[in-house]
């Protein structure tokens, strides 16, 4: 067996495994983290490393060198960056089916544009950037999966920008609380720190507390110390309130 033949065989195995991982990330959401971990353990290799992180752990820092990409299989993360003035800005919260570092690598950048932190327990697959790019160029199925992902990602960014700029910060808070409670058991407790929510909405903490007081006065939320509590009837009222917003 020649070296070229051996290399092609290894490349084929890597590409096939990567396709299975991408299918899990993009099309098999809904399974528990433990079930995903069990399935991924059979696909892990030196080139495709399984990583588990607990809530509030860092995955990437802004300007970190990007030697690997990270495929989020399960869990929820948030991305953030710091302005030149040092102000923290939460860019987005993202759940399973994301690839961190992809935009930078495709743009031939060598460092991360934003920091990535976990909100919940998360599973990632770490993949070498050069092997990923080679698979992307060699395998049409991988290329198609990544193109579909980029299209969904772009649509999400456009929709988020339009929503943020077309409604007020107070209305964005209503949408934030509604989306956090959607599909959850009631009463649902929102435990994110107020600094996090303020940064996500691009407002200062004083403004956020004023909005939360208004929501309490309107009986749309309950407050338990630092926790925001959404009961079923208050969720219904939130939904009615959001229905009147012109998005």
pLDDT in tens, 184-222: 788 899 888 888 888 888 888 899 999 999 999 999 999
Sign of CA dihedral 201, 151, 48, 50: positive
How many residues would you count in the chain?
247
Whether 4 shows a pLDDT value over 50: the answer reads no
72 pLDDT tier (thresholds 50, 70, 90): very high
Give the pLDDT mean for 130-152: 93
Give yes or no: residues 155 and 183 share one domain. Answer: no
Give yes or no: residues 112 and 53 share one domain. Answer: yes
Give yes or no: residues 23 and 133 share one domain. Answer: yes
Cα-Cα-Cα-Cα dihedral of 26, 138, 125, 37, to 10°?
60
Residue 3: what pLDDT?
39
Q: Of 129, 164, 199, which residue sits at a domain end? A: 164
Tokens found for residue 141: 């199925």
149 pLDDT tier (thresholds 50, 70, 90): very high
Give yes or no: residues 89 and 175 share one domain. Answer: no
Contacts 24+ apart (CB under 8 A), 142-148: 142/15, 142/18, 142/19, 142/22, 145/19, 145/22, 145/23, 145/26, 146/22, 146/99, 146/102, 148/26
pTM for the structure as a whole: 0.70
Q: Of 116, 144, 164, which residue sits at a domain end? A: 164
Residue 216: what pLDDT?
92
Whether 118 shows a pLDDT value over 90: the answer reads no
| Higher pLDDT, residue 172 or 85 | 172
- Residues 114, 153: Cα–Cα separation, whole Å: 16
Residue 7: what pLDDT?
42
For the chain, what is the domain count? 2
Instruction: Report which of 183, 182, 161, 186 is spatially closest to residue 172, judged by C-alpha positions.
Output: 161
Residue 33: what pLDDT?
81
CB atoms within 10 A of CB 11: 15
| Higher pLDDT, residue 35 or 242 | 35
**DSSP 8-state symbol, 208:** H
Q: What is the mean pLDDT of the chain?
A: 83
The helix/strand count (H/E) of the chain reads as: 9, 11
Residue 244: what pLDDT?
66
Q: How remote is the C-alpha of 242 from its chain's centroid?
A: 23
Residue 6: what pLDDT?
40
Give yes or no: residues 215 and 113 share one domain. Answer: no
Query: Are the beta carbons of 52 and 121 closer than 8 angstroms?
Result: yes
For the segment 36-66, what is each residue's pLDDT rounded down to a tens digit? 888 888 887 888 899 999 988 889 988 899 9
- Domain with 90, as residue range(s), is 3-164
Give yes or no: residues 91 and 201 share one domain. Answer: no
């Amino acid at each position: 067996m020649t070296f070229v033949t051996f290399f092609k065989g290894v490349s084929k195995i890597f590409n096939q495994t990567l396709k299975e991982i991408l299918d899990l990330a993009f099309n098999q959401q809904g399974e528990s983290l433990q079930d995903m971990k069990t399935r991924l353990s059979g696909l892990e290799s030196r080139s495709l490393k399984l990583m588990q992180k607990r809530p509030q752990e860092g995955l990437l820092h802004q300007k970190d060198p990007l030697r690997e990409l990270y495929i989020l299989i399960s869990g929820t993360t948030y991305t953030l960056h710091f302005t030149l003035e040092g102000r923290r800005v939460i860019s987005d919260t993202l759940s399973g089916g994301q690839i961190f570092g992809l935009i930078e690598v495709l743009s031939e950048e060598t460092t991360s544009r934003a920091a990535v932190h976990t909100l919940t327990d998360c599973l990632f697959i770490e993949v070498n950037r050069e092997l990923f790019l080679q698979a992307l160029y060699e395998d049409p199925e991988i290329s198609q999966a990544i193109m579909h992902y980029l299209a969904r990602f772009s649509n999400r960014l456009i929709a988020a920008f339009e929503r943020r700029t077309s409604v007020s910060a107070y209305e964005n808070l209503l949408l934030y609380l509604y989306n956090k409670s959607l599909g959850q058991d009631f009463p649902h407790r929102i435990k994110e720190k107020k600094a996090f929510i303020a940064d996500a909405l691009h407002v200062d903490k004083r403004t956020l507390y004023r909005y939360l007081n208004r929501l309490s006065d309107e009986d749309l939320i309950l407050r338990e110390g630092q926790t925001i509590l959404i009961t079923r009837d208050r969720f219904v009222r939130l939904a009615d309130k959001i229905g009147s917003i012109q998005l």
